Structure 1
Amino acid sequence: MNLTIFGASGKTGRLLVQNALEQGHKVTAFVRSPERLGLWHERLCVVVGTLENDEAIERAVIGADAVAELVGTVSEGIERIIAAMKRHGVRRLVAASACSVSDPNDLPDFELSLLVSFVESRRPENIQAVRRTAAIIRDSDLDWTLVRIPVLNDRPGGGAVAVGYPGHGEVTIYLSRADLASAVLRIMESDDQIRRAPVVSNSLQPASDR
């Protein structure tokens, strides 16, 4: 597949680029500073730009089979990405979001509610931006998936991963960036989560029990 990754030089983005290359995909990495990415590969194309640069965004999405957007809170940027995807017939969008974005499949979950309340009390502007971005994506006619992310950590990957909805006994409030990158790649490769907004987390099940 031809995969485009916005936010490719961030901690999760870089892991996603590495995973995708290891799985044999061609990757276009959209970055502000290529030196932060620090990767070179025959199947890797680096596009340098910002989410205010329509021409760079267009170059990044042309020919893509799927696009990952890992920046998360820049609503003007996601509007430009969506517009470029529509102009070039690219349908599949997998976008990072947060547990502060609700979904009809959610049930009451005390831990996640506490987490959202904690963040909202300290960074209400971030919560509003994330929700605004999610609404823009949901209102598009793309084959989108919102990946709602809990508290991230830098533990090694390979843990048990849950992809589900709060209140169903599936998801927790923790997730390693390595496992997030692996989960995003699996979602990009499939049609299983189209028009859905699951929470991805490390599950309650120990990896040794899988």
Structure 2
Amino acid sequence: MKIAIFGATGRVGSIFMQHALDEGYEVQALIRKGRDVTPHENLTIIRGDVTNIEDVNQTIDGCDAVFSGLNTDGTTTLSQSIAHIIEVMENKKIDRIVTIGTAGIVESRVEPGKLRYLSSESRQRVKFAAGEHEKVYRALAESGLDWTIICPTALVSEPRVGVYRYEKDYLPLDGRRISIYDTADLAFEALREHLFTHKRVGIAY
């Protein structure tokens, strides 16, 4: 399998990419100028910008699946990029995509019909980032793609535990934190084993 990766230098994306390379997969990664990654014989680096559809097209070309670990960076990068990714994937007839979202976009347990970040469950005062992730979710849900969104609660840069809880479309009860390593592990398993089609998957300890 050849995987196109966006957000390969991010906290979760870099771990996911190392997984893929360690498992012998070929990777094409879009890397912004000024960012460095360790060379690998199975890694092809495309220098560019995810908001540029030509760079997205070049990154996805020849691949079998797509992974995105992009975050918002306080901008509309997520909503801009997902439109390009979906368009290119549909044009190239590539179906499978796994992305990293946020626990804010799973369903609320206390206010049915609302997403967590829009309900009383949310502790976030600033909702811009979750709103961008919701736009990604809505765009994927309206597409014809075979998508999965892994939705971690508060991400911590701690070693992997290897044991965690996950739930389709909800955050596990009382979930408070999750390592970037365990999040990447579940995302990689979802792509490799073709799990959780058309689902948001909350993950926490």
- Band the TM-score falls in, shorter-chain normalisation: 0.7 to 0.9
RMSD: 2.2
Distance 1:177 1:68 in 2: 15
What are structure 1's unaligned runs of at least 5 residues? 203-210
How do residues 1-210 of structure 1 correspond to structure 2 at under 5 angstroms? Answer: 1-33=1-33, 36-73=35-72, 74-103=78-107, 107-108=109-110, 117-119=122-124, 121=125, 123-165=126-168, 166=170, 169=173, 172-202=175-205
Q: Hey, which bits of structure 1, 4+ residues long, moved more than 4 A?
A: 112-116
- TM-score for the superposition, normalised by structure 1: 0.83
Distance 1:39 1:131 in 2: 32
Deviation at residue 64 of structure 1 after TM alignment: 1.6
Task: Identify, as 1 or 2, the structure richer in helix.
Answer: 1
Deviation at residue 192 of structure 1 after TM alignment: 2.0
Report % sequence identity.
Answer: 23
What are structure 2's unaligned runs of at least 5 residues? 73-77
Distance 2:172 2:10 in 1: 31
The 3 A distance-change label for structure 1 pair 168 and 201 is closer
- Tell me the secondary structure at the aligned position of residue 82 of structure 1: helix
Aligned residues: 194
Cross-structure match for 2:75: none
Contact 2:103 2:202 (C-alpha < 8 Å) held by counterparts: yes
Comparing 183-192 with 79-88, greater Cα deviation is found at: 183-192
- Tell me the secondary structure at the aligned position of residue 198 of structure 1: strand
Contact 1:173 1:201 (C-alpha < 8 Å) held by counterparts: yes
The 3 A distance-change label for structure 1 pair 54 and 167 is closer
